[in-house]
Amino acid sequence: MRGYIWKMLLLLAAVIPVTVTAKTEKKVKQPDTYAYTRGVEAYNEQKYQDALDWFNREISEHPDNGYAYVYLSILRYGNEEYGRALSAINEAIKHLPKKDKDWNSVAFMSRAEVYVVMEDTVSALNDIAQAIKINPSDRVLYNKRGQIYYEQKKYLLADADYRRMNELDPGGVEGYMGIGRNANAEQRWEDAIAQFDHVIKIAPEYSSGYSFRAESYIAQKKWNEATTDIVKALDIDGDDKAFYLMQHLPAEAVTIMKPKLKVQMTKQPTNRYWPYCIAVLAVANEDYDEAISYFKQANALDANSIFLEKISQCYLNLNDCNNALEYADRALAMNPDDYDVIDLRADILARLGRFEECIAERSRYVARYPEYPFAYLSRADDLMNAREFEKAIEDYNTAMVLLPLMNEFSYPFIKRGDAYRLTGKNTEAAADYNQVLSLEKDSVLSSKSWTPFAYSGLGNHDKAIETMQYIVDNDTTDLKGNLYNMVCIYARAGRNDDAVRTLEQAVSKGYKNVGHLKSDYDLDGLRDMPAFQNLIESMEMAAPSYTKNPDEEIEGVYETVEIPFTKEGGVTKVKCSINNLPLHFVFDTGASDVTISMVEANFMLKNDYIKPEDILGSARYVDANGDISEGTVINLRQVNFGGLELDNVRASVVRNQRAPLLLGQSVLGRLGKIEIDNPEMKLIITHKIKK
């Protein structure tokens, strides 16, 4: 359903507001039949399935209602039923009154949208041209055609459409942005900057002007200007392009970027976004220790399961599996239905060699996303290391059926071939190995090549070793990984001494995955060798998980407090104080943020419980009914309940005077482990005592 609504909202934003919403004001009278009227009402209320039912009924009763066909087409498009959408819009164009230019323009534009998805750009361009002929002042039409020309690299034609947009609305930004983007594509950096300069002059709070100009500056290696624009774009609205550019800066620019982010962090000390950005920048540069530090700072300001997930991933990258698992568990405690964290937890358990638990987590993921081929592929890999080869074969087969494109890649064939070989199905194994050789016959051998393993599986060990040695000697992009693959090739050939010797080289170059060494079926022949056992032991002793206790947030002195609560109207209420003002919180483990009603916020502001400097800005939130609202974000300097104190808690002011003061996960995640004792009506909170 999410995909349906997302597509529908895209179409609403791109087409409908420009035209359909104004139809009742046009001279051409629309049908007023019962089913059509109810369908329009349901559509406007975003009850799309109801709307679809009503419009289908309308068509059955009045098959010449072109307006109903337009709605039907848009609904089918949103449901990714492109063939039915095309059929409906064809009927719309046939039956719409020719004098209703706006609706005919919408119809041709809607059909163009369908053609674009079906990759028929010739038909799409023809329909857009027809829509422009009908409604030559609609800027959306030129923008859509300009986008198609841009994707076709027909920049002169795209520029012409964007210039027409500028003529129609000199104060709009889209036309200038389009011309600037085209100039960037043609590496005319100064021309692009001139366009973005103009955008920034007419719309200084439009973040894309800065992020696109930053791209131009990056191409010119003007790092100071580029990083300034990135920070500005991030500050305006967390601009996605700026966020991407930040993560792909070269080292010489990172040294300039990081201090500017720290300045923002100093200027906005209660804003979790800036330590988050610094952490993401550190991850991009593989500085995981620094990343952990800043993710923790972001989480301390406003707890979020995403921060905990990121911390877990960083610990895993450092091969600190104990802390990685701890933080994954903490993330799941905040958001039990986050299947990305469930998948991450499975990765950690695999690294620890706890395959029974790992496979159970993978199975949860498969149950949630039964049509996702890579879920089966991941579980198959874990089943291989658990020596459950028959089950692995079944999962590889499922993955390859769900994604036929996967049959163009070597990986599933090499892994399934190994599973067949290890279960004595040599004919099937040979077919898979030969398929690998066929797929890679024209490719350059690299760290991504499975050709050596295919030769090995076919029993041609000399050729396998020769090919793998060529990769080690010529591909330096992943030396430790290539050396590890050489270990596997030697082990598969029974050359165990060479395998251990090469493993020592891989470890010296940075290979640290002890869990994989202990579970990899290719290395079964090495397990009884003292040299291999000694190497494993030394690696375990050097790993963070073995050399130190879990980090300072996990270790330390903890205390457990019990906080009484009351039940009123089915909600749990807890006494609290905010900036020394006695209040009650509604305790809700399903809420993400702290929210406060406008009445309470205004009272606190007028009576100096909230200072003007505590007002931070605005943010959108989603309530229990799934409705999106906008509210002012304020900083609660001190929150106390049950003797527990938290400083600088962000809260959203709800524009609903009857809304409760809601205690969400952004506070709960900062406290520690929380249990609810319903019979005794108390919260049991285990938290670390501050030093």
Structure-token pair, residue 298: 């972001």
Helix, coil or strand: residue 156: helix
412-439 burial code (b ≥16 CB/10 A, e <16): bbbbbbbbbbbeebeebbbebbebbeeb
Q: What is the pLDDT of residue 612?
A: 81
**How far is 504 from 526, CA to CA, in rounded Å?**
13
Over residues 51-101, the pLDDT tens digits come to 999 999 999 999 999 999 999 999 999 999 999 999 999 999 999 999 999
Q: What is the pLDDT of residue 86?
A: 96
Q: What is the pLDDT of residue 316?
A: 93
**Residue whose C-alpha is closest to residue 80's, from 10, 152, 151:** 10
Structure-token pair, residue 430: 């040979």
SS3 breakdown of the chain: % helix, strand, coil, rounded to 5?
Answer: 65, 10, 25
Ramachandran angles phi, psi of 686, nearest 5°: -105, 120
Q: What is the pLDDT of residue 625?
A: 41
**How far is 227 from 245, CA to CA, in rounded Å?**
9
Helix, coil or strand: residue 433: helix
Q: What is the pLDDT of residue 267?
A: 94
**How far is 330 from 310, CA to CA, in rounded Å?**
11
Q: What is the pLDDT of residue 556?
A: 54
Over residues 122-152, the pLDDT tens digits come to 999 999 999 999 999 999 999 999 999 999 9
- CA 196 to chain centroid: 28
Tell me how crowded residue 662 is: count the other CB atoms within 10 A of its CB: 24
Alpha helices in 318-338 (DSSP H): 321-334
CATH 1.10.1740.10 assigned to domain 371-442? The reply is: no
Q: What is the pLDDT of residue 658?
A: 65
CATH of domain 1-136: 1.25.40.10
- Hunting for tokens 């498009």 — which residue is that? 77
CATH of domain 558-688: 2.40.70.10
pTM greater than 0.85: no
Maximal C-alpha separation, the chain: 90
User: Bridge-partner residues for 651, per DSSP?
Assistant: 594, 634
Question: DSSP state, 527?
Answer: T
* Sequence-separated (6 or more) residues with CB below 8 Å from residue 372: 366, 402
Helix, coil or strand: residue 357: helix
**Residue whose C-alpha is closest to residue 414's, from 437, 385, 390, 447:** 437
Question: Which positions of the chain have pLDDT values less than 50?
Answer: 1-26, 545-555, 620-630
SS (H, E, C) 537-582: HHHHHHCHHHHCCCCCCCCCCEEEEEEECEEECCEEEEEEEECCEE
Structure-token pair, residue 538: 């030394």
For residue 423, the one-letter residue type is T
Q: What is the pLDDT of residue 19?
A: 41
